Amino acid sequence: MAMPPSKRPPRRERGSIDALASGALRVRVYAGTDALTGHRHDLTETVPRDHPDAANEAVRVRTRLLNQIDEQRHPRTKATVNELMDRYLELLDVDATTRRTYDGYIRIHVRPLIGSVSLSRLDGETLDSFYLVLRTCRVHCDGRPFVEHRSTDPEHACDEKCRQHSCHPLATSSIHQIHGCLSGALKRAIRWRWISVNPLDQAEPLRTVTSDPDPPTPEQAAAIVNEAFKDWSWGVLVWLAMTTGARRGELCAVRWDRLDLDRKLLSIRTSIAQLGALTWEKDTKTHQQRRIALDEATVGLLRAYRDRCDADAAELSVTLAGSARLFSLAGDHSTWIKPDSVTQRYRRMCARLGWKMHIHQLRHYSATDLIAAGVDVRTVAGRLGHGGGGATTLRVYSAWVSEADQRAASNMKGRMSLPPAATTKSATERGAAVIDENAPYRRIAADLRGAIASGVLKPGDPLPAMKEIAEQYDVALSTAHRAVSVLTSAGIVNASRGRRAVVAETRHRAGLVAARTNADLA
């Protein structure tokens, strides 16, 4: 028998409204157990005492909070952004170098600005204000004037390096990386049921990053190559970076047994990573292996480089194993060079030439040169090791795609100087001497060029007779003449009617052949 309504006990109200000493009303509603700490979790909100209808407003707030709980839209923890970032970094599965980058962005920008904000109070307005600070000043100066001292020691004597602070915005790409850290952490917070709504969805979308690669011009590339070849090993590394588009860490990791000169292939399987003084071998950036086809000039150069490395090893009574690195400071090439050392040496070299450049621009040069020659984007992406089937390549180098057909129609092949050619020849003159990449005379010219660059043929030495060259390569006598003509046009050899061609004794060639400094890359 049902109890009459008048006899039922009064229903207990969910939540409470308490009067504070200040006269304000605090609304508290039980929301379960904190997902992070395991303690009791309450939703609270305060109605100020000067509210015109504080009592009824407190009731409405309690009803709203109860509805959030019933619809499971309430935050399930009192954790702050700092606590979320701690958990995010703890579970993050990335390379050590990537982790260092993320940790730096979070430590320098996220924690000081919004780290103490509760996840339940993180909303679109807070995030918009956060990104505004980053776009205004990278050191979060808040408009206050101060002096940027050269030293953290308060007792130091100020000099010209201690100057008044000037606001500079954080780079758009850096803001996007910070956004990526927040996005990854907040998505995990939703999966962990810490929050029910992603506050990033309420914030203003960020501006898209427009890629603007700035590769060297053909004239700059020629000057860089000739400057690099003042040291044999360094010149080959720069040449490979320019022709293959390989990353610096991938070049540091290349081994001789992954170079097939007969098939003209270079296999990229691993990369060298560096964190401070620590280096280690790891997968490539996209965790993909690839094979890069090499041109005749590069193959000839690498053959001469191998002869040079074998000769240097023999002087030290050691041999090069198949697992030996292409570029090393050790006599047996058993160790790799450091990627940071490559970057620093390249910057110093370009600074001597009067340019502010970094080695990654050689990767841009390779990509844009291929695109301008009419090579399809998927092929370019394969050589560079880009993921996404060419989407990354197209996004980064789209400025050159629209001009590819027009540039390819001009048949301007061989815009780079021949290694290590003088810089006096124009790109058009060099291109006129290189028409068919697979022609027999190209291989003959490349082998002779390698012999000259390695010092096998010295300035003033005569080249083999045309008949000897034709018999050695099993080609017609006219093909041998054409190969020598290529070297003559490049200024590498001197030839006159009725006499055998000899290696040119120009200042550049003599300096190049004599330069075996083995400069320290470290």
Euclidean distance between CA atoms 455 and 234, whole angstroms? 16
At residue 5 the predicted structure's pLDDT band, cuts being 50, 70 and 90, is: low
Euclidean distance between CA atoms 290 and 381, whole angstroms? 11
Structure-token pair, residue 361: 């621009």
Euclidean distance between CA atoms 489 and 482, whole angstroms? 10
Mean of all residue pLDDT scores within the chain? 80
Q: Considering only 31-35, 40-44, 254-258, which range has the smallest mean pLDDT?
A: 31-35
Per-residue model confidence (pLDDT) at position 182: 95
Give the number of domains in the chain.
Answer: 4
Question: Of 51, 70, 89, which residue is a domain's last?
Answer: 70
| Domain-located, residue 431 | no
| Domain-located, residue 192 | yes
Are 249 and 396 part of one and the same domain?
A: yes
290 in Cβ contact with 355 (< 8 Å): no
Does the structure show a pLDDT above 90 at 78?
no
| Domain-located, residue 151 | no
| Domain-located, residue 426 | no
90-125 pLDDT tens trace? 999 888 888 999 999 999 999 999 999 998 889 999
122-162 pLDDT tens trace? 999 999 999 999 999 988 887 778 787 777 777 777 877 78
334-366 pLDDT tens trace? 999 999 999 999 999 999 999 999 999 998 888
Does the structure show a pLDDT above 50 at 255?
yes
Per-residue model confidence (pLDDT) at position 434: 36
Are 124 and 178 part of one and the same domain?
A: yes
Are 180 and 239 part of one and the same domain?
A: no
Per-residue model confidence (pLDDT) at position 346: 96
Of 405, 408, 397, which is closest to residue 214 (Cα–Cα)?
397
Euclidean distance between CA atoms 377 and 366, whole angstroms? 13
Domain CATH number, residue 452: 1.10.10.10
180 in Cβ contact with 131 (< 8 Å): no
Per-residue model confidence (pLDDT) at position 270: 93
At residue 508 the predicted structure's pLDDT band, cuts being 50, 70 and 90, is: very low
521 in Cβ contact with 337 (< 8 Å): yes
At residue 288 the predicted structure's pLDDT band, cuts being 50, 70 and 90, is: confident
Are 181 and 113 part of one and the same domain?
A: yes
Secondary structure, 3-state, 346-415 = HHHHHHHCCCCCCCHHHHHHHHHHHHHCCCCHHHHHHHHCCCHHHHHHHHHCHHHHCCHHHHHHCCCCCC
If you write DSSP's letter for every residue of 239-279 in order, what string do you get?
Answer: HHHHHH---HHHHHH-BGGGEETTTTEEEE-EEEEEETTEE
Cβ neighbour number for residue 39 with a 10 Å cutoff: 10
| Domain-located, residue 193 | yes
Is the Cα torsion angle 364, 370, 373, 378 positive or negative in sign?
A: negative
Euclidean distance between CA atoms 95 and 86, whole angstroms? 17
pTM of the model: 0.62
Are 450 and 397 part of one and the same domain?
A: no
Q: Taking phi first (over 0 means left), then psi (-120 to 50 degrees means alpha), and beta for anything else, what does residue 333 get?
A: left
| Domain-located, residue 187 | yes
Euclidean distance between CA atoms 486 and 444, whole angstroms? 10
Are 405 and 443 part of one and the same domain?
A: no
Per-residue model confidence (pLDDT) at position 336: 94
Structure-token pair, residue 242: 């320019």
Are 192 and 255 part of one and the same domain?
A: no
415-459 pLDDT tens trace? 444 454 433 333 334 333 333 555 788 888 887 887 787 666 788
Does the structure show a pLDDT above 50 at 412?
no
| Domain-located, residue 427 | no
Are 309 and 451 part of one and the same domain?
A: no
Are 381 and 246 part of one and the same domain?
A: yes
The H-or-E segment that residue 290 falls in is strand 290-293
- Largest CA-CA distance found in the chain, in angstroms, rounded: 129
Does the structure show a pLDDT above 50 at 275?
yes
From residue 501, give the alpha-carbon distance in Å to each of 326, 484, 517. 32, 8, 29
The whole domain housing 181 covers 81-145+163-202
The H-or-E segment that residue 128 falls in is helix 124-136
Per-residue model confidence (pLDDT) at position 2: 53
If you write DSSP's letter for every residue of 41-99 in order, what string do you get?
Answer: EEEEEEE-TT-TTHHHHHHHHHHHHHHHHHTT-S-S---BHHHHHHHHHHH----HHHH
Per-residue model confidence (pLDDT) at position 430: 37
Q: What is the rounded radius of gyration, in angstroms, for the C-alpha atoms of the chain? A: 33
Are 308 and 252 part of one and the same domain?
A: yes
| Domain-located, residue 7 | no
Which residue blocks in 465-519 are alpha helix, DSSP H? 466-473, 477-489, 507-514
